[in-house]
Amino acid sequence: MRNFKVKIAYDGSCYHGFQRQENAVTVQEKIEDALFGLFGEKITIDGCSRTDKGVHAREFYFSFKTQSPITLRGIVFGLNPKLPDDISVLSAEEVPLDFHARFDAKGKEYEYIIHNSEIKNPFYKNTALKYWVPIDEKKLDMAAKSFIGEHDFKSFCSTACDKQITVRTIFDARVVREGDLVKFYVSGNGFLYNMVRIMVGTLLFINEGKIPCDGIEDIIKSKDRAKAGKTVAPQGLYLNRVFY
């Protein structure tokens, strides 16, 4: 038996997230179908994360086991023609049999992109959040620093979150501007359901004056979802990096 770790990227616009579902098209389904076409055997893959409907990934990993003698190049160039154009295999490596793409991940970095302009851009329809109110990125960058550290992020997860332990460690959080694009970067050892999208929604509430600039610490302490900002739309969210 051999175990492989595969790096992919995908545009999540047409998918209901990564994880296979009964009545919706997902990234996992497309990859497992491609693996069956390549190997002629039913293979179940383990993904590094569960992304929501419409969320994208610049770097995503999955692992799978097979007895096939296939080469690493064979995996990359064998899978890519069998996958839709919005999913790409970037690389593959053989790993120890006990490696698991999800459980061995030490952390992740997410990016959320906001198109901050009064004029719509058709190329950002599925790749960024449209937000016309002028953003003070320096103020939001300062506010985002309150996310850094080990905290109970119960206020920043969906009420549908099924995690009993909601403590997470955030390594870094920052907001930068690149022309009309405002980007929020956050990295940590783990994230709760909708956590990044609620973080961004809270920062936008700060931008609008609905939450004080120094209000994030109090929201964290409250452990009350109602105190935080809205859950922003998924299309601006990217899984940027996975740390092993």
Q: How wide is the angle at C-alpha 200 spanned by C-alphas 198 and 204, nearest 5°?
A: 115
In angstroms and rounded to an integer, the radius of gyration of the C-alpha atoms of the chain is: 19
- Annotated active-site positions, please? 52
State the helix-helix crossing angle for 195-207 and 137-144, rounded to 10 degrees: 130
56 alpha-carbon distance from chain centroid = 7
Q: Are 149 and 114 in contact (CB under 8 A)?
A: no
Rounded Cα distance, 198 and 228, in Å: 7
Q: Rounded to whole angstroms, what are the CA distances from 155 to 21, 143, 185?
A: 27, 16, 19
